[in-house]
């Protein structure tokens, strides 16, 4: 009625056009905001240019740590940055008529284990999504994206049909019976799959998480690739959830190497990443009201690792939603998010060294220490979560963390993270860096085949062990490798056969890259773009 009166008074055509224009502009604005929310909701600092106050030692360490992904690459190498590495694994997957030549070797061996490799991709994606601008400021973003795509290219090919996923290339026994460079390996490399009859929920769900998180990374720079990743992620999650069963049972050989302690955390991890990638409420409902009470491990903090995603996923990643909001949520969903955040606070309080609930799992110098095999995985992972949570607090203007009557600021969490990474980089009783190539003192006898064998060596499967037993330092530097780490008494025995302390892994490298990316700028005061 009002519109008709206006038209009669002031020339209807002009005011009708203006009204249409205003409404159209509002619709376009709303659409753009929705697209920005869906595409860039993960970017904390999209509005900034380059971060200021770069910390040189962390920038240097990040550049070095990033190179280990190049050390571990399988396949026909492109823009090879490691002089002693060449093409390898070119026929991987051929017996299954698949191209599984890409991907990365797991550790110091020549195996491709899909479970930890997918975790590597997920963590690397998370680091890029949260701290891509900081990576870019020190010229490491492109390297991170390329390394991620090297893995996701492999994962795409490893998923040839909805309910089939190849989760391993190589036979661990055959592989460990040889000591060879990847370029000259001669042992058989079978490709192992899971399917509806022999399920592997945890590895299928972890791969779904990797695909979903990577789809966000490539959303703006390669939309068709992003869409492909998201399609695979949805199919893999459905496969994982429909055909539930542990891959440790379906593929018994993995029990000695990457035995799973349960798949519930991976299902929640995958669904959480799919929610971030799609904003589809069904995934949020899955992790809160549907499966949260059963799978969420609420009020029971745990250590973040390739096997246990509870701390990283649900409690910190879902706390992100609690901090910054989500679309319309039901009461049950809201309660679920609050439970995850409550557990995240318990975890953070446990990490702070002077908290009333501080974990006793530390060395005398303050390094988080949980297990002796690859001991650095837990302090590095914990420090990464602490940096994230600290930034979430800053960005959401949450001033305090309450720990049994004592309060802490975001800076306290960041200080804890700094203490852990500084220990890794040399501020420790051994006065050595545990990142190979960083600083003036670092391990010289890394348990790593390619690093330990001269490029021109003419040795086969069995006689190659002479290089394992050699008293000489490795002829090739496994630059960027994060070795296993110190014992509880803070000693480190640098000899090549000490795989417990001296073997690096790709997934631990993803964690140290993520941590350094969060600390490379001294300022964490940024705002979320929601």
- Catalytic residues, by residue number, are 447
Instruction: Report the alpha-carbon angle 318-321-325, nearest 5.
Output: 160
Please give the C-alpha separations between residue 120 and each of 124, 184, 421, in angstroms, as whole numbers. 6, 26, 19
Nearest one of 480, 522, 484 to 147, comparing CA atoms: 480
SS3 193: strand
Nearest one of 209, 252, 251 to 230, comparing CA atoms: 209
The CA distance from 167 to 86, in Å, is 24
Q: What is the DSSP letter of 364?
A: T
> Roughly how many angstroms between the first and final C-alpha of the chain, as a whole number?
37
**Strand runs (DSSP E) across 141-266, as ranges?**
164-169, 191-195
Do residues 491 and 434 make contact, with C-beta atoms less than 8 angstroms apart?
A: no
- Alpha carbon 318 to chain centroid, angstroms: 15
Q: What is the DSSP letter of 310?
A: T
Nearest one of 460, 466, 505, 465 to 187, comparing CA atoms: 460
Do residues 185 and 109 make contact, with C-beta atoms less than 8 angstroms apart?
A: no
Please, what sign has the CA dihedral across residues 70, 75, 79, 83? positive
Do residues 245 and 267 make contact, with C-beta atoms less than 8 angstroms apart?
A: no
> How many other β-carbons are positioned within 10 Å of the β-carbon of residue 21?
10
Instruction: Report the alpha-carbon angle 111-114-120, nearest 5.
Output: 100
DSSP string, 443-465: -SS-S-HHHHS-TT----TTTTH
Q: What is the DSSP letter of 486?
A: -
> How many other β-carbons are positioned within 10 Å of the β-carbon of residue 81?
14
Do residues 292 and 340 make contact, with C-beta atoms less than 8 angstroms apart?
A: yes
Do residues 416 and 386 make contact, with C-beta atoms less than 8 angstroms apart?
A: yes
The CA distance from 448 to 148, in Å, is 22
Nearest one of 235, 212, 399, 223 to 317, comparing CA atoms: 212
Please give the C-alpha separations between residue 92 and each of 102, 110, 191, 451, in angstroms, as whole numbers. 8, 12, 8, 22
Do residues 101 and 78 make contact, with C-beta atoms less than 8 angstroms apart?
A: no
């Amino acid at each position: 009625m009002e519109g008709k009166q206006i038209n009669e008074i002031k020339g209807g055509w002009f005011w009708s056009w203006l009204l249409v224009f205003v409404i159209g502009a509002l619709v376009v604005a709303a659409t753009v905001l929705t697209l920005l929310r869906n595409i860039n909701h993960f970017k904390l600092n999209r509005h900034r240019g380059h971060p200021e106050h770069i910390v040189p030692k962390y920038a240097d360490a990040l550049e070095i740590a990033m190179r280990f992904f190049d050390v571990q690459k399988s396949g026909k190498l492109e823009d090879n940055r490691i002089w002693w590495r060449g093409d390898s694994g070119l026929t991987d997957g051929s017996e299954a008529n698949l191209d599984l030549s890409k991907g990365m070797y797991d550790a110091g061996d020549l195996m491709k284990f899909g479970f930890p490799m997918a975790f590597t991709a997920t963590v690397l994606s998370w680091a890029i999504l949260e701290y891509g601008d900081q990576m870019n400021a020190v010229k490491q973003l492109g390297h991170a994206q390329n390394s991620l795509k090297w893995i996701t290219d492999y994962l795409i090919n490893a998923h040839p049909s909805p309910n089939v996923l190849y989760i391993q290339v190589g036979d661990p026994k055959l592989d460990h019976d040889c000591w060879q460079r990847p370029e000259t390996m001669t042992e058989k490399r079978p490709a192992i799959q899971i399917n509806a009859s022999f399920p592997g929920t945890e590895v299928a769900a972890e791969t779904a998480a990797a695909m979903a998180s990577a789809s966000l990374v490539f959303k703006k720079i390669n939309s068709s690739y992003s869409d492909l990743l998201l399609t695979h992620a949805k199919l893999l999650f459905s496969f994982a959830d429909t055909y539930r069963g542990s891959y440790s049972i379906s593929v018994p050989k993995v029990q000695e190497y990457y035995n799973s302690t349960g798949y519930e955390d991976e299902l929640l991890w995958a669904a959480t990443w799919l929610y971030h990638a799609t904003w589809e409420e069904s995934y949020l409902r899955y992790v809160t009201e549907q499966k949260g009470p059963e799978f969420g491990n609420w009020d029971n903090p745990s250590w973040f690792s390739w096997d246990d995603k509870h701390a990283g996923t649900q409690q910190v990643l879902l706390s992100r939603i609690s901090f910054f909001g989500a679309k319309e949520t039901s009461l049950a969903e809201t309660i679920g998010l609050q439970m995850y955040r409550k557990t995240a606070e318990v975890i953070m309080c446990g990490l702070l060294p002077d908290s009333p609930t501080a974990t006793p799992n530390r060395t005398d110098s303050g390094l988080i220490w949980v297990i002796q095999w690859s001991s650095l995985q837990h302090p590095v992972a914990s420090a990464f979560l602490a940096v994230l949570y600290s930034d979430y607090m800053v960005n959401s203007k949450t001033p305090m963390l309450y720990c049994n009557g004592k309060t802490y600021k975001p800076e306290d969490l960041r200080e804890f993270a700094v203490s852990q990474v500084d220990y890794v980089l040399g501020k420790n009783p051994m006065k050595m860096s545990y990142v190979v190539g960083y600083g003036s003192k670092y391990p010289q006898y890394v348990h790593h085949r390619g690093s330990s064998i001269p490029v021109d060596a003419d040795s086969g499967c069995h006689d190659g062990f002479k290089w394992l037993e050699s008293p000489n330092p490795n002829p090739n530097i496994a630059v960027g490798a994060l070795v296993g780490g110190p014992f509880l008494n803070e000693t480190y025995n640098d000899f090549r056969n000490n795989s417990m302390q001296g073997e690096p892994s790709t997934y631990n490298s993803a964690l140290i890259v993520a941590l350094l990316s969060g600390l490379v700028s001294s300022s964490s005061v940024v705002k979320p773009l929601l």
